[in-house]
Structure 1
Amino acid sequence: MSKVEAYKNLIRQFYAKSVPEDSKAHFAQYLEDPEFLEAWEQLIDDDELDRASSSEPDDDQLFDKIKFDSRIKEYLTTVPLRKKLISTKVFKIAIASLILCTTVGSFLIWNINRKSNPTLVSNTKDWVVPGKERAQIILENGQVIDLDKITGDTVIDNGAFEILKLADGSISYRMKKGDHNEKKIAYNTIVTPRGGEYNLKLPDGTRVWLNAMTTLRYPIVFDKIKREIYLQGEAYFDVMAQQEDGRRIPFVIHTGGQALEVLGTEFNLQNYGQDIVTTLVEGKVKLNFVDSRLDDQYLAPAEQSIFYTKANKVIKNTVDPYYFTAWKDGKFAFSKTSIQDVMGIISRWYDVDVIYNTKIENFEFSGTISRYEDFRKLLKTIELVGGIHFEIEGRKVYVKN
């Protein structure tokens, strides 16, 4: 008999209330064995356990029975339970162990996870989740549109133009014929909060992906002499080339003290503070530094410039653009990145505050992780490098040696 089949027999005994006492004593160890959980899930998939109990409660009843049972209330102050984030199979396993193994109530799955992850202490009922598509558009007249509250395939009529929210969640613009006054340029502003991201197509066809905590101001119709927009935060651009009477129409992005002129290209632009980081993926860009005597800079693919506005200097390096653009494709990508930079990126995306209890130096992290990873698992992955620990309280993350 295979190990999985042996476990199945044991589980059937649990349901029949005839499990041997020595097996009860080892129940916590069984729960830590993937083959035990596999056996239990197979029985659930085969509906065998459902047939064994015709009075089994539905998912809501299962959740409430776990949540309000006196034997696990003590864990609720440290381990948050969210019904939507726990599968039905796990509910059934947990409730079965709760009902049938009264002598091992302290060995519930949540307690095991708590013991296996001692550094990530959480004293909160809040649940930290990854960011999502969330943004607001502020129209020229001050009207605010919450894009995440609008379903896909929706047209928002704004008089001279229409805003289209497509099925994939992105937005684009469509002008109405004869309604545009070219003498007056009207601007819209799109804002993503902490824990938000969005992508849109500008009126000229340029695609823009906005990271968390980003503001982009742009005209609803571009000038035929120069296309100009204004950025604060981080965005990835795929600029559409345009010509008028055989002449190229420049595309210029103003961010802080830097003006970037696009020469037909894809690039990432970041400006969250005093430093402005431009990473070129393909094409060519020209950088001009406003109110500065610094020379203009030209970037080729895989080159990056960092403009230190406070020190009034610029440094150009060759980099792997992947590590600076992976966020657009749903990933964190780090290569010997300082813990301060790593946590700065994470804090914007998960909407948490990071506090350093001690001065941490010479800690670098390399790796690629999904931006939609469970928050505790993400921090645990960073901890595995060694020399650093985290504690979570509410939406605060404490970093310790």
Structure 2
Amino acid sequence: MSKVEAYKIIISQFLAKTLDERAKQNFANYLNDPDFLKAWQQLMDEGEIEQSPDNQIAHDNLFKIIIQDKRIRDQVVSGPITKKSSIHILRNVSIAAILLLVGISASIFFFMQENRPDDRAIANNLPAVVPGSQKAEIILESGERIDLEKLKLDTVIDNGAFEIIKSDKGFISYRLKNSEAGNQQPAYNTIVTPRGGEYKLLLADGTKIWLNAATTLRYPIGFNGDERKVQLQGEAYFEVAKQVHHGRRVPFVVNTGNQQLEVLGTSFNVQNYGKTIVTTLVEGKVKLNVHDSPQDNLYLSPSEQAVFQFTNKKFLKTAVDPRYFIAWKEGKFAFYNTSIDEVMEIISRWYDVEVHFDYRPENFAFSGTVSRYDDINKLLRTIELVGDIHFELKGRKIYVKR
């Protein structure tokens, strides 16, 4: 039996939902083989793939993913692409173009699997692990704590000199009741998101802050005009409002342990979970300096990232695509050649689960964009498609296995 014929059997079993577990685990690898697409094409020509609406949806999604990649599109067709021309296009895709499907094979399989009720039933029998949500606590300077999750939308809390407002969209903001209060020594509050939590904060100067899971931010309820300083542990995205005092632009400073980040008005992401401090600039310009660092001040321009290593107290600056590092605030996980340790660390914080490694695959690199609000079983299945890796979810523990 030829390889193409063997693939045709596997595809037929897949469409009939009779594929065995081992073949399911290897399915993503088949997508990397030109012979697999040849087998798929032959079944399509023979009419086997179009026997049901679900199978037609799977084929259409496969076709869309292939032709939407500009590199493939440029190689196989010029002019408008129609469904009528799909057979001709797929039949003439070059080997180089087919190999580009390696990076999107997980997405292809995700589309195929989306309507499989048997997998959903299996997932429903696993212990419930839900994605993160809007959860946070504010600690006032007096030590009083406010659970924001229990606070209804469109609520105002009167705290004497100021009011805390939870908007109808879930944003927390402050309103000073006395205009002179902003000229006095500012009082500080602290907002804390737990593992599996996130929140949005609007400071008195108009600066917007998105806080990721397991994050602590200490900030003033008002600004006296001379300086704007906050302290961060965890991860947050900032859209800093410009502020002018006596004709001078007032800098905004973010302290993250040893590192101090200074901006005048810009958008950036800072991640500080203890091992490194990762600063990614989206717009504007920032200045970084670190106490006791042998390096001078470091300046970042848009689409640059600085990684500060605590071990040697040095910065490493690189050019990056900021979209991968701020996708979380838009409700997505975005990975690009990300190691299994980093992937699982992010999942652990967001879904509030423990991760145990019984196996670490060599040369593992995961790329893809997935909703942060997906069922965890669907997310884990997508990651498994990368290759030699398997997950077991038991209670609130994920075991990484071969």
TM, length-normalised to structure 2: 0.70
Which whole-Å deviations, capped at 9, do the CAs of 1:331-374 have from their partners, x for residues lacking one? 00001000111111111111111110123331010000000111
Matched with 1:327 is 328
Which whole-Å deviations, capped at 9, do the CAs of 1:122-179 have from their partners, x for residues lacking one? 7x6x300100011000001011001111111110000000001000011111000257
Which whole-Å deviations, capped at 9, do the CAs of 1:298-339 have from their partners, x for residues lacking one? 000000000001122110000000000000000000010001
Matched with 2:226 is 225
Matched with 1:246 is 247
Give the counterpart letter for 1:352 in structure 2.
Answer: V
Q: Secondary structure at the match of 1:163?
A: strand
Q: Secondary structure at the match of 2:149?
A: helix
Q: Distance in 2 between matches of 1:374 and 1:153?
A: 29
Task: Classify 1:171/1:121 alpha carbon distance in 2 versus 1 (closer, same or farther; 3 Å).
Answer: closer
Q: Distance in 1 between matches of 2:52 and 2:401?
A: 32
Matched with 2:216 is 215
Matched with 1:113 is 119
Give the counterpart letter for 1:142 in structure 2.
Answer: G
Matched with 1:292 is 293
Decide whether the 8 Å contact of 1:192 with 1:213 is kept in 2: yes
Task: Classify 1:31/1:143 alpha carbon distance in 2 versus 1 (closer, same or farther; 3 Å).
Answer: farther
Matched with 1:237 is 238
1:2-401 equivalences in 2 (<5 Å): 112-113=118-119, 126-177=127-178, 180=181, 182-401=183-402
Larger radius of gyration: 1
Shift of 1:293: 2.5
Q: Secondary structure at the match of 1:149?
A: coil
Task: Classify 1:362/1:31 alpha carbon distance in 2 versus 1 (closer, same or farther; 3 Å).
Answer: closer
Matched with 1:83 is none
Q: What is the percentage of aligned positions where both structures have the same residue?
A: 59
Give the counterpart letter for 1:131 in structure 2.
Answer: G
Task: Classify 1:272/1:388 alpha carbon distance in 2 versus 1 (closer, same or farther; 3 Å).
Answer: same
Decide whether the 8 Å contact of 2:355 with 2:400 is kept in 1: yes
Decide whether the 8 Å contact of 1:391 with 1:398 is kept in 2: yes
Decide whether the 8 Å contact of 2:208 with 2:238 is kept in 1: yes
Decide whether the 8 Å contact of 1:121 with 1:392 is kept in 2: no
Deviates more, 1:232-241 or 1:221-230: 221-230
Decide whether the 8 Å contact of 1:216 with 1:229 is kept in 2: yes
Decide whether the 8 Å contact of 1:284 with 1:300 is kept in 2: yes
Task: Classify 1:137/1:233 alpha carbon distance in 2 versus 1 (closer, same or farther; 3 Å).
Answer: same
Which whole-Å deviations, capped at 9, do the CAs of 1:51-89 have from their partners, x for residues lacking one? xxxxxxxxxxxxxxxxxxxxxxxxxxxxxxxxxxxxxxx
Shift of 1:285: 0.2
Decide whether the 8 Å contact of 2:182 with 2:224 is kept in 1: no
Give the counterpart letter for 1:361 in structure 2.
Answer: E
Q: Distance in 2 between matches of 1:292 and 1:209?
A: 29
Decide whether the 8 Å contact of 2:138 with 2:145 is kept in 1: yes
Give the counterpart letter for 1:238 in structure 2.
Answer: E
TM, length-normalised to structure 1: 0.70
Q: Secondary structure at the match of 1:347?
A: helix
Task: Classify 1:316/1:178 alpha carbon distance in 2 versus 1 (closer, same or farther; 3 Å).
Answer: closer
Q: Distance in 2 between matches of 1:359 and 1:342?
A: 12
Task: Classify 1:339/1:34 alpha carbon distance in 2 versus 1 (closer, same or farther; 3 Å).
Answer: farther
Give the counterpart letter for 2:240 in structure 1.
Answer: V
Shift of 1:34: 7.6
Shift of 1:384: 1.0
Decide whether the 8 Å contact of 1:160 with 1:179 is kept in 2: no
- Name stretches of at least 5 consecutive residues in structure 2 with no aligned partner: 1-15, 20-50, 55-115
Q: Secondary structure at the match of 2:226?
A: coil
Q: Distance in 2 between matches of 1:239 and 1:277?
A: 18
Which whole-Å deviations, capped at 9, do the CAs of 1:167-206 have from their partners, x for residues lacking one? 0011111000257274432100000000000001011110
Task: Classify 1:249/1:128 alpha carbon distance in 2 versus 1 (closer, same or farther; 3 Å).
Answer: same
- Name stretches of at least 5 consecutive residues in structure 1 with no aligned partner: 1-28, 37-108
Q: Distance in 2 between matches of 1:164 and 1:121?
A: 38
Shift of 1:224: 1.4
Give the counterpart letter for 1:243 in structure 2.
Answer: V
Q: Secondary structure at the match of 1:180?
A: helix
